Copies of this chain bind each other. A is one copy, B any other.
Amino acid sequence: MSADNRIGKQTLIFNSRPQILSSYAIVGDIEGQGPLAQYFDAIIKDDTLGEKSWEKAESKMLELSVDGALQKADIKKEDVQCMFAGDLLNQIISASYAARELKIPYLGLYGACSTMSESLLMGSILLDGGFASSAVCVTSSHFSTAERQFRAPLEQGSPNTPTSQRTVTGSGCLVLGYESKARTIINVTHATIGKVVDMGIKDASNMGAAMAPAACDTIITHMQDMGRTPNDYDLIVTGDLGQLGAVLLAELCLSRNVDLKGKHYDCGCAIFAPEQNTKSGGSGCGCSAVTLAGYLLKQMVMGTYHRILFMSTGALMSPSATQQGESIPGIAHAIVLERGEGA
What's the tally of chain A residues with a CB closer than 8 Å to chain B? 68
- Give A122 to B82 CA distance when docked, in angstroms: 12
Q: Is A147 an interface residue (CB 8 A)?
A: no
Query: Copy number in this complex?
Result: 2
Name the residue of chain B whose CB is nearest to the CB of A218: B105
Q: Would you call A93 and B133 a contact (CB within 8 A)? A: no
Q: Would you call B1 and A106 a contact (CB within 8 A)? A: no
Contacts of A97 in B (CB 8 A): 321, 326, 329
Q: Would you call B320 and A193 a contact (CB within 8 A)? A: no
Q: Would you call A3 and B103 a contact (CB within 8 A)? A: no
Q: Is A196 an interface residue (CB 8 A)?
A: yes
Contacts of A331 in B (CB 8 A): 96, 99, 106, 108
Having A96-B331, A108-B110, A128-B129, one finds 13 other A-B pairs with CB under 8 Å, namely A1-B127, A3-B132, A3-B133, A4-B130, A10-B105, A82-B193, A90-B319, A91-B110, A92-B110, A93-B318, A97-B321, A105-B193, A122-B122
* A residues with CB within 8 A of B: 1-6, 9-10, 12, 16, 52-53, 55-56, 81-82, 86, 89-93, 96-97, 99-100, 103-112, 118, 121-122, 125-133, 149, 178, 193-198, 316-321, 324-326, 329, 331, 333
